[in-house]
Amino acid sequence: MTAFHHAFSQALEGHFDDLWPHLDPDDRTLGAIAVYRNTAIKARIDALEANFPTVSRLVGDDWFRAAAREFVEDNPGDDPALAGFGEGFPAWLAAFEPALGLPYLSPMARLDRAWTEAHVAPDADPLTPARAAAAGLALTAAPARLHPSARLFWFDWTAPSLWLAHREPEGFEDLPWRPDAEGLLIHRPGAEVIARRLSRAEWAFLDAARDGRPFGAAALSARAAQPAVDASAVFAGLLAAGAFDSICLRSLKP
């Protein structure tokens, strides 16, 4: 980036001093900068709205875009690619005064952000049931690895159901807040991002995998979380969903 382009970028954020050696500070220049600045702000607001659709749906377009403008002014960002814009939005929203009476918004933003992260995560081959079966009992000693797109959550309230009801309203009923614990897995084992509600045993299995523990130990964690659960069935369901990275097979001796 040249000195001029850096100075112009700073001017779009309201810092003009470095620009004046390159341009005259007259009304025409200031007017042109205002046009560029407004265009840049609108692009980021649009990107934020696209990246956090559940939050926008919950509060309405006007509220969201007003809040988004304040976020953009505070966090303009320096990446011209806006597909992942808004990394700090969930934490910012938690401290945003008009949202303090809406404590569910920041968790909804975290889940929206996880969807974006899963969408842009590196591709990887998921561990398939056929490859797991071919590994046999040796797989139990292999360190489990989550798919690189996987984002794992556990809440002490029905945040996943609330998020799914508004993120995918065609497929889920509109559920109110309830003090019932729920887990959620968001990942992209193929071309599409998938969101899957988790039982406590499923979450415990995946949490152990997130720590890189062997598949056998992950199964024990699932049983500890739900003593009556069939850990083999839990593993089979998560395997069918593409939750694991096939890279774990590299640790097995030929």
Task: Give the phi and the psi of residue 187 in degrees, each rounded to 5.
Answer: -160, 170
List the one residue out of 86, 91, 141, 77 whose CA is nearest residue 116.
86
**Domain spans, the chain:** 3-103, 121-251
Write down the pLDDT at residue 30: 52
Crossing angle (nearest 10°) for helices 3-12 and 27-51: 70
* Strongest mean pLDDT among 8-17, 22-31, 163-172: 163-172
- Alpha carbon distance 5, 9 (integer Å): 6
* pTM to 2 decimal places: 0.85
Confidence of residue 7 (pLDDT cuts 50, 70, 90): very low
Q: What is the pLDDT of residues 203-227, one digit of tens each?
A: 999 999 999 999 999 999 999 999 9
> How much is the mean pLDDT over the chain?
86
